[in-house]
Amino acid sequence: MSQDNRLMPLPGVDRTIDRPIPDLSPARSYGPAANEPTQLREYLFVVLKRKWLIASLCLVVTSLVAVQMFRQPSIYQAETTIRIEQRQRNVLKLSDFSVNAAPDANFWGTQIKLLQSPSLARQVALTLDLQHDPTFFGGGQSAGVFSSLRKLFGGGEKQKQKVSPATSSQGLNVVSAEKLRDQPLSPEELSALEPYEDMIIGSEQVDGIVGTNLYTIKFRHTDPAMAQKIANTLADVFQSNNLERSTANSNKADVTLAREIADLQTKIRRDTEALFNYQREHNLPPDSSGPLDVESQKFAVLSKELLEAENNRKTAEAVYKSAAAAPDKFAVPEILGSSRVLQLRDRISALREKEEALLVIYKKEWPEVKKIDAQLKPLEAELNRVIAETITGLKSQYEAALTKENSLRQSYNAQKGTTTQQTRDQIEVVAQTQTIETNKQYLNTLLQRRREVQVINNDRGNEVNVETYSRLGTPVGPPRMRNIIIAFILSLVAGIGLAFILDFLDDTVKSVDDIDRYIHLPALAMIPASNGNRGRIKAIAPGAAAGGSETTALAMIDDVRSPVAESYRHLRTSLLLSSAGQPPKTILVTSSQPSEGKTTTAINTAYMLAQTGVEVLIIDCDLRRPRLHAQFEVSNARGLTTWLSGEKDLDGIIQSCPRTSNLKILTSGPVPPNPAELLSSDEMRRLLSQLGERYTHIIIDSPPAISFTDASILSTMVDGVMLVVHGGRSSRAVVRRAKQQLLDVGAHIFGVVLNNVRLETQDYYYQSYYSNYYSDPDSASAGERA
């Protein structure tokens, strides 16, 4: 079997053929805004296209917020007024009247923070025993929607509570901060109080009245009586705390000084006794300079004697070792200076001279010579003994010096330890004495300070006063209508933003402009979706039964005045004008992926061409999922595969369309196991050549170009290819891939048919035009143009 090169790229074909059309020719306009800049109308089209999404989001969000707002109970606000003044200067304090003295700039901010502190909220909760009051949290339960509406439109609910007197908060047993310090709460109790503290702080608001020292404490709650009670208690507890702080400072200073003075006096007495006992235990008199000098003198004398003994020992050691190691003992000064050695050496020397004189005349056997030798031996032995005794004496001197040195060293070390310990004891005594003296000086300072505190300590008034207690609160919230309006605006903005995001992320081909902008192919026609049967424009569903005219593709153009029929007439005109010189004869209809409506487009295109009076043949080359016979309600027992398999009765396999005689049908025939091999055979080319001589136009329905290679094979045998794209569903990348796949094998693409387009968005005017035009009885003859 020879190699099939039909699908190989044609030599010499420019691989960059898939470049933008504006690079090849002047730009073509396929829509009202193809070459216009982005305008406000395009944004409006995006919003209108997803108007139901935006409206649904606004409706849901606004409804949920409205329901939640009307379920929330009314909030009442109680307001208590207090006066806060800075503390007056004390005439007895000179520091208060310094030249650079100025009011505390942080005083007012500190007071506001104290009013909003968790400790103050904790005191209020304990004072009112809010832990056992179910109305504190229970008053915030949600009310019904209808009851809230009645309150909103009925003028508000009537306050049934009686107005509490202005002095209702006075007389409370306030839990002071000092009591909490003396009796601290356990961690479990503090943790249990945290929700109450957060609730009080979150609902409290402190504002200053400009130009005055007055501050308002506002508290909000769903129960007006509770709001009034907490606002008044906040003021009372804050006033009590300020009074406690004012009086506690001076009293606490006096008590603290008295306690520190007593503690310091006790400490001085205890340290003095400890110093006395320490001196007695270590034999140190009150004046320890004398004993310290005696021990130092002893240590100095021992140090000097040890140094001398060490020098003597070194000298004796050097003399002894030198004498013991000297090869000539007579060179040792101690031996040479010995009188006994000198005498013995003189006597030996005289006898040797006498012997040498006799040996000149006589021999050694001469009696006189032997007599002299006998005299020399005892003298020499005695000389050696004297030398050895001298060296032994030197050794004894060395050992005696070493013994003396060791003895002195032991005494030195003992005295050194005694002196060191004595010095440490003396240093410790000095340190304790300095500590006692420091404490005495500090005691004098504290006594002086206490006298000053007692002088300047006087009664002080409270800087915080409650001017006006709160009345029963009035409703102040929640701002229901404002929140509902805000929710509507935010949901509207979010919906519009979501619409633009979805439009930005939408990669499908939706309009003729998208074909020109992204696919770079001409748009042959735009087939709108049928309002009554929108799904029928898509590909034929698998298993669609033949016999029902409502399920066939031709049912959509039964109404010659419909926009769908007019669109197919426009497609027919575009095809007839797509080739220079003469109309195309063989036209391949394919798509990028399944279910894009190529079979429907092929049937209606063939039908429209047949209405011009010429002979038209439609061939079902989709040998994998043939559907042409089901649409025309004809038999598929014999067809294209029958002829390609060897049966050459061409007239026997071509069938006529029941609706028009000049439209012929060649069904696929039995589904073969090797569709691509059959379509790429020479028999297929021969068949198209024979059919081209008998028919003016041949429409070929093929499988999708991306899924199978059948479309690429057939595109090399036809005059051109018509690419069907499902509007709003086909991806741009997939369509470009199908286009490039066809161009790679040298196919001529007439253009793109945008199928099943929804015109109620940016082409709304187009749909309105068709609806108004074809619904006018005067224009009924418009359908006869075909």
- Among residues 527, 511, 691, which one has the least CA distance to residue 618? 691
Structure tokens that stand for 286 in this block: 């009150």
DSSP 74: P
One-letter amino acid of 237: V
End-to-end CA distance of the chain: 49
Q: Classify residue 784: in a domain, yes or no.
A: no
Give the separation between CA 631 and CA 663, rounded to whole angstroms: 14
Tell me the three state secondary structure of residue 467.
strand
Where do we find the tokens 């300072």?
Answer: 445
Structure tokens that stand for 189 in this block: 């109790």
- φ/ψ bin of 184: left (φ > 0), alpha (ψ from -120 to 50), beta (otherwise): beta
The predicted pLDDT at position 581 comes to 74
Q: Classify residue 540: in a domain, yes or no.
A: no
Give the separation between CA 181 and CA 388, rounded to whole angstroms: 97
Same domain, 429 and 494: no
Same domain, 320 and 386: yes
Quick one: angle between helices 367-456 and 224-281, nearest 10? 140
Dihedral over alpha carbons 180, 182, 183, 185 (to 10 degrees): 50
DSSP 638: S
Q: Classify residue 765: in a domain, yes or no.
A: yes
Q: Under a CB-based contact definition with an 8 Å cutoff, are residues 639 and 672 in contact?
A: no
Cis peptide before 327 (omega within 30 of 0): no
Same domain, 705 and 753: yes
CATH code of the domain containing 100 = 3.30.1890
> In terms of DSSP bridges, do strands 464-468 and 75-84 run parallel, antiparallel, or are they unpaired?
antiparallel
Same domain, 60 and 86: no
Same domain, 244 and 136: yes
One-letter amino acid of 172: L
Secondary structure (DSSP) of 148-193: HHHHHHTT-PPP-SPPPPTTTTTT-----HHHHHHSPPPHHHHHHH
DSSP 93: -
Q: Classify residue 24: in a domain, yes or no.
A: no
Q: Classify residue 237: in a domain, yes or no.
A: yes
- Among residues 315, 327, 316, which one has the least CA distance to residue 395? 316
Q: Return the ∠ at Cα 713 (arms to 708 and 714), rounded to 5°.
A: 105
Same domain, 589 and 632: yes
Hey, how many other C-beta atoms are within 10 angstroms of the C-beta on 331?
Answer: 11
Q: Under a CB-based contact definition with an 8 Å cutoff, are residues 586 and 717 in contact?
A: yes
Below-50 pLDDT ranges, the chain: 1-37, 91-92, 94-101, 139-143, 145, 149, 152, 155-169, 288-292, 533-551, 761-786
Same domain, 710 and 577: yes
Give the separation between CA 514 and CA 30, rounded to whole angstroms: 9
- Among residues 657, 689, 702, which one has the least CA distance to residue 539? 702
Give the separation between CA 722 and CA 590, rounded to whole angstroms: 6
Q: Return the ∠ at Cα 168 (arms to 170 and 176), rounded to 5°.
A: 35
- Overall size of the chain counted in residues: 786
Same domain, 227 and 127: yes
The predicted pLDDT at position 162 comes to 39
Same domain, 612 and 639: yes
Beta partners for residue 466, in sequence order: 82
Q: Classify residue 15: in a domain, yes or no.
A: no
Total domain count, the chain: 4
Same domain, 82 and 196: yes
Beta partners for residue 220, in sequence order: 77
Same domain, 628 and 740: yes
The predicted pLDDT at position 722 comes to 93
82 phi and psi angles, rounded to 5 deg: -125, 160
Hey, how many other C-beta atoms are within 10 angstroms of the C-beta on 291?
Answer: 15
Q: Under a CB-based contact definition with an 8 Å cutoff, are residues 641 and 668 in contact?
A: yes
Question: Could you tell me the residue range of the domain that residue 62 belongs to?
Answer: 40-72+479-505
Stretch (H or E) spanning 588: strand 586-591
* Strand ranges inside 637-696, DSSP E: 655-656, 663-666
Spatial neighbors of 466 by CB under 8 A, at least 6 apart, are: 80, 81, 82, 232, 235, 236, 239
Per DSSP, the chain holds a count of helices (H) and strands (E) of 26, 13
- φ/ψ bin of 547: left (φ > 0), alpha (ψ from -120 to 50), beta (otherwise): left
Same domain, 421 and 472: no
The predicted pLDDT at position 666 comes to 93
The predicted pLDDT at position 102 comes to 54
Q: Classify residue 421: in a domain, yes or no.
A: yes
One-letter amino acid of 143: A
In our burial notation (b when 16+ CB lie closer than 10 A, e otherwise), range 355-391 reads beebeeeeeeeeeebeebeeeeeeeeeebeebbeebb
Q: Under a CB-based contact definition with an 8 Å cutoff, are residues 46 and 498 in contact?
A: no
The predicted pLDDT at position 13 comes to 38
Stretch (H or E) spanning 215: strand 214-221
Q: Classify residue 723: in a domain, yes or no.
A: yes
Q: Under a CB-based contact definition with an 8 Å cutoff, are residues 510 and 729 in contact?
A: no
